[in-house]
Structure 1
Amino acid sequence: MLDRPEIVCICGSTRFVDEMSAANRDLTFAGVIVLAPGVFLRARDREAGGAITAEQKTALDALHLRKIDLADRVLVVNPGGYIGESTSREIAYARATGKPVSFTGPS
């Protein structure tokens, strides 16, 4: 038994920001510490000049792997079963480090 709340890292495509926010809210209300992506740039943000650089993307990806390291388990938010390239890498990393991985949609 842990003497602290469970820590869950949310992974998934940033196109699912609303679904990730809902999962974050639900887990938080259930007493879980949630680690999630900190930057969500939607298409309209990129069109408005809010794009991130390749260097920033690399740094954000590495930071998210550290969040997985801190977590007890990973929850993949994947409506309709969609799993993109970055999320696939995160799932592989989590499994390689022994973290349980679950999905909100079909895996």
Structure 2
Amino acid sequence: MPSAQPLTPEEKLADAKRQLGLPRIVVICGSTRFMTEMAEADLRETTAGRIVVKPGCDLKSPHELWSDPVEAEALKVRLDDLHRAKIRLADEVLVIGDYIGDSTRAEIAYARSLGRPVRFTHPEVDPVSHKSDDGRRDT
């Protein structure tokens, strides 16, 4: 009789969330230029009964915590790692805004590599479904 394969950490997390009866967890992704829209999406997702995690810092807005350029770059690396952890925690991703930059594009690819569903407030910016005029997929 074959022995059962041990659960992966991802499977253990999903099982624990089910056992705890946690609501669906949504991570908000997108350019920090859309912080106002992210706050509105947070409100809508929360009132729909979902747990929301989103970027907590806008490094484009002045603040003493990232006023030093060297410290700001180190902070950006840590925040990128933190956001990937939020994506791993979440059940789905909601991408905000009508623009997808390199960081958001990488987050979308990461989420999809984990099998997370990705929703868009502006589906036309989905890098997977967006085609160029000659019919080829833009990358």
The interval holding the TM-score normalised by the smaller chain is 0.7 to 0.9
Task: Tell me the equivalent position of 1:10.
Answer: 28
1:42 is displaced (CA, Å) by 3.6
Q: Which has the higher contact order (CA 8 A, sep 6+)?
A: 1
Query: So what's the TM-score if we normalise by structure 2?
Result: 0.67
Deviations 1:35-79 (A, max 9, x none): 100102345x27x8954611100000000000000000000002x
Equivalent residues, number: 102
Runs (4+) of structure 1 exceeding 3 A deviation are 48-52
Q: 2:39 aligns with which of 7, 10, 21?
A: 21
Identical aligned residues as a percent: 49
Distance 1:22 1:53 in 2: 27
Stretches of structure 1 lacking an aligned partner (at least 5 in a row): none
Task: Tell me the equivalent position of 2:8.
Answer: none
Task: Tell me the equivalent position of 2:135.
Answer: none
Larger Rg: 2
Q: Provide the aligned C-alpha RMSD in A.
A: 1.8
